[in-house]
Structure 1
């Protein structure tokens, strides 16, 4: 009987230790970003075609999960550095933006959905799109995509 009690005690102690370690690991889990959509969504275009047009907006949607609750979502869009090598279309300007969203602060799960305006004079070309989630412990996850800004649609 003593051996059975010792075995049960050791088994319970090990179970508690393993469970405690698992919880600690979960607290250090980075936020998750899934189902990211990036696209113009205009005039029959796909909402997930990674294209945009000057003077219009771009649709951005994603599912976000943060075990430690969301602090903020940051979107940055900037031109590829080598994309035009000094030749710029007349009347256009280099464009970049960084937008920080606190709308989802404190949530574990969020269905992110925003539209970002593209200036009318944004230079067409290749851009980088960065979607970053920061949780309340400062852990981050970032998804990067290529984005094409095309000449105005007629």
Structure 2
């Protein structure tokens, strides 16, 4: 009888362990979305120079294994020479300085329901009166389950 109980306990334990495994559940998202600006249409590229008073089309490709939800674009000054974790190329920086009238652009946008790929295609005007100098352009994308990815590049406004 004791041996029968041990077999039942082992069988129940194996059943419990295999039923708790989430790796076979396709509804569990374990992947972050991706952002790519390093393609022929991606803009801005690292160390890009933007002119005050001009409009530019900011473009990046975003993808997700299940479904995308939203993205944001953030342009902010880098007059203090801070960095972001994911920056690839480093550009030659001007001397540090105090911001007087820096450009600050932060906007969030929804991605159409059901999209697993999307190209950000956003026209942004660089105002005439903003401080010239070193800036960062950051893209962020979030998928339907809450995973987020970010990337940023150094740019200059003159």
Q: Deviations over 1:36-62 (max 9, x none)?
A: 4224xxxxxxx8862211111222112
Q: Distance in 1 between matches of 2:23 and 2:99?
A: 57
User: Which blocks of at least 5 consecutive residues in structure 1 are unaligned?
Assistant: 1-15, 40-46
Q: Match for 2:157 among 106, 130, 149?
A: 149
Contact kept? 2:68, 2:111, Cα under 8 Å: no
The TM-score normalised by the length of structure 2 is: 0.65
Structure with more of its chain in helix, by fraction? 1
Q: For 2:23, what is the secondary structure of its paired residue?
A: helix
Superposed structure 1 runs of 4+ greater than 6 Å apart? none
Please state if 1:123 is matched with 2:121: no
Match of 2:88 in 1: none
Which structure 2 segments of 5+ residues have no match?
1-17, 81-94
Alignment of 1:31-42 (within 5 A): 31-36=33-38, 37-39=42-44
Q: Which residue of 23, 48, 54 corresponds with 1:21?
A: 23
In structure 2, which of residues 63, 66, 70 is the aligned counterpart of residue 65 of structure 1?
A: 63
Aligned equivalent of 1:30, options 29, 32, 38: 32
Asked if 1:50 is matched to 2:48, the reply is yes
Alignment deviations for residues 40-94 of structure 1 (CA, whole Å, 9 cap, x no partner): xxxxxxx886221111122211221122311111011100142552386xxxx21
Task: Quickly say closer, same or farther: Cα 1:62–1:87, change in 2 above 3 A.
Answer: closer
> TM-score when scaled to structure 1?
0.67
Cα deviation 1:84-131 (Å, max 9, x = unaligned): 52386xxxx211110111144441111221111111111110001110
Aligned-residue CA RMSD (Å): 2.9
* Residue number in structure 1 paired with 2:98: 86
Partners of 1:104 and 1:49 lie apart in 2 by 31
| Alpha-carbon offset, residue 25 of structure 1 | 9.4
